[in-house]
Amino acid sequence: MNASSAPAGTTEGGKPHEDRPHRSGFACFVGRPNAGKSTLTNALVGTKVAITSTRPQTTRHTVRGIVHRPDAQLVLVDTPGLHKPRTLLGERLNDVVRTTWAEVDVIGFCVPADQKIGPGDRFIAGELAGLKKRTPKIAVVTKTDLVGADELARQLMAVDRLGRELGIEWAQIVPVSATEGTQVELLADLLVPLLPEGPPLYPDGDLTDEPEQVMVAELIREAALEGVRDELPHSIAVVVEEMVPRENRPADRPLLDVHANIYIERPSQKGIVIGPKGKRLKEVGSTSRRHIEALLGTPVFLDLHVKVAKDWQRDPKQLRRLGF
């Protein structure tokens, strides 16, 4: 087996090397819901770009984080979870995942260290094994801070076995903790050599190429999910209708007006999102406003409305309008 760890002095940390060509390309992390893919993307990029939540299946948009290094540019594509489709939205999400897999240069298969490999992991690994393109795959054992050395060793061996059973040749098996930052840089060091040679694809300093409005909508959706029942995540969509700088403000005190709608499927869900006397919606507003201000670096006035778009998950016209 090929598990990687970082003995002192062996990581190169992206230092430029005269005889080493610059590399650039795309990577995506796949894995069952809650495997830690978004958190890992954030840890690699070093800022909050993807959506994390304690609830599964919250990553809806393909959010890219960009790791800039002197020797390489690694563009991380964050996909929604692959799951059994029950609605039109479910099918679209799975299509997005497969399209993404076909386009990237390397795939990171994430398995949490603290949970036994189960049918969900096997399903995704099976799909990976069936990929026509021979895209290199790195197995990433996540959340290593939650287990002891013995349990981690068992998980690394289980992942190795899973690969053998399904005929996947892992380019590497790497244990990481995204929250502790353990071996995150090593993971980048292992991903980079698997990218094709080439110049940077994005300007230095870009963290993501998602349009700002989509990221703002995601931040609002994330905050809205915090306050609602577990069965609601797929019933919420957020559309930012407008983002405009407030007129006649002094240059040193700008204000950005953001108008956004939170769409739910049924009138009965309205109360859940808004909460008693609007308390929950207020919380959603203040939490997401803070995140939006941090993201855009400007004070924001956030105007939020809750609207019913009946059965939007099943209606192709509504799905298009809501950005799917």
Ligand X SMILES: Nc1nc2c(ncn2[C@@H]2O[C@H](COP(=O)(O)OP(=O)(O)OP(=O)(O)O)[C@@H](O)[C@H]2O)c(=O)[nH]1
Point out which residues bind ligand X (CB under 6 A): 31, 33-39, 52-54, 56-59, 81, 142-143, 145-146, 177-179
Exposure string over 109-138, b if 16+ CB within 10 A, otherwise e: bbbbbebebeebbeebbebbbeeeeebbbb
Q: The tokens 């869900």 sit on which residue? A: 269
Shortest reach from residue 34's CB to ligand X, in Å: 4
Pairing of strands 170-175, 137-142: parallel
In the complex with ligand X, the residue whose CB is nearer, 125 or 258, is: 125
Q: The tokens 């840089």 sit on which residue? A: 185
In the complex with ligand X, the residue whose CB is nearer, 31 or 136, is: 31
- Distances in Å between the Cα of 61 and the Cα atoms of 58, 218, 262 are 9, 8, 16
Shortest reach from residue 90's CB to ligand X, in Å: 14
Shortest reach from residue 233's CB to ligand X, in Å: 9
- Distances in Å between the Cα of 59 and the Cα atoms of 35, 64, 80, 230 are 12, 12, 5, 15
9 Rama class: left (phi>0) / alpha (psi -120 to 50) / beta: left
Shortest reach from residue 60's CB to ligand X, in Å: 9
Cα separation, 119 vs 123, in Å, equals: 6
Shortest reach from residue 95's CB to ligand X, in Å: 17
Burial of 167 by CB count in 10 Å (0-12 exposed, 13-18 middle, 19+ buried)? exposed
In the complex with ligand X, the residue whose CB is nearer, 38 or 172, is: 38
Phi first, then psi, for residue 248 (nearest 5°) are 55, 35
In the complex with ligand X, the residue whose CB is nearer, 42 or 135, is: 42
- Distances in Å between the Cα of 299 and the Cα atoms of 220, 223, 295 are 16, 18, 10
In the complex with ligand X, the residue whose CB is nearer, 56 or 193, is: 56
In the complex with ligand X, the residue whose CB is nearer, 315 or 324, is: 324
Token output for 119:
């049918």
Shortest reach from residue 324's CB to ligand X, in Å: 16
In the complex with ligand X, the residue whose CB is nearer, 146 or 201, is: 146
Spell out the alpha helix ranges (H) of 167-232.
184-191, 212-226
Q: The tokens 């778009």 sit on which residue? A: 309
Shortest reach from residue 77's CB to ligand X, in Å: 13
Shortest reach from residue 292's CB to ligand X, in Å: 19
In the complex with ligand X, the residue whose CB is nearer, 89 or 256, is: 89
Of the CA atoms within 13 Å of residue 145, those in its CB half-sphere come to 9
Question: 283: how many CB neighbours lie within 10 A of its CB?
Answer: 15
Name 298's Cβ contacts closer than 8 Å, sequence gap at least 6.
254, 255, 256
